[in-house]
Amino acid sequence: MTYFSTTDGTRIFYKDWGTGQPVLFAHGWPLSSDAWDQQMLFFGQNGFRVIAHDRRSHGRSDQTWDGNNMDQYADDLAELIESLDLSDIVLVGHSTGGGEISRYIGRHGTARVSKVVLVGAVPPLMLKTDANPEGTPIFVFDGIRENTAANRSQFFYDLTAPFYGFNRDGVETNEGLRENFRRIGLQGAIKGQYDCIREFSEVDYTEDLRRIDRPTLIVHGDDDQIVPIKASAHLAAGIVKNATLNIYPGGSHGLAETQAERFNADVLTFIRR
């Protein structure tokens, strides 16, 4: 088990395997680095150094009462990158992890970054507002808060149906994925996960996206029921300079797991371009 300690004393768990150009993965809510297992194995076997961390209060990292906000997540990531002295990094962020790597760039720049991959990512803003009419209404996120607080184990399991698209006609359910999602989610701290709901739903990442000045691949399923494509990838692709938008027809929020072979190949092609 590998950890490093941030300046505020929080221990962050991370995996660091292989050699070569570093590819760093940031996970979604309420998960951990384990959600990237298929990518870690694939890219490690293809000559890359693969790194993935558990965000504070998620997975095996310390469960903090305070500091569960996107600025702190980004600063934790910056400390990890600096402690490992990484450069020429490919940053890959899924869902909330897409917000994390965007905020990292917004706060710390791109001096150490080579390329960026956003998959099912929350930026620029998930919340429906007058200026963001395609966003998701606040009552949806209030419901996520309520269910996380009161019935977390069952809620995480139920969430897997729209997350992976298992509620769609003709889509075969994978019970192993469902149980693994719940297993990973329940490793994390309820307080940190509760706080993080605001960070993926109500935080505006527009200015962070504008600071991305590296080649960027945006991957999104057009049937993403968690982060609808109209309020996320379509907008982000118009904000990020030098962005390529790759839409997966019928793709779910969890496409990096359910369509791992295609996703891995697309990202590999993008990195080697």
pLDDT in tens, 130-168: 999 999 999 999 999 999 999 999 999 999 999 999 999
Is-catalytic flag, 253? Answer: yes
Is-catalytic flag, 108? Answer: no
Query: From the candidates 32, 95, 102, 252, which is the catalytic residue?
Result: 95
pLDDT in tens, 216-272: 999 999 999 999 999 999 999 999 998 999 999 999 999 999 999 999 999 999 999
Domains in the chain, CATH or no CATH each: 3-272 (3.40.50.1820)
In the block, which residue shows the tokens 């558990």? Answer: 54
**Hey, which bits of the chain come out as E strands?**
3-5, 11-17, 22-26, 49-53, 89-94, 113-119, 216-221, 243-248
Query: From the candidates 34, 76, 195, 224, which is the catalytic residue?
Result: 224
Is-catalytic flag, 95? Answer: yes
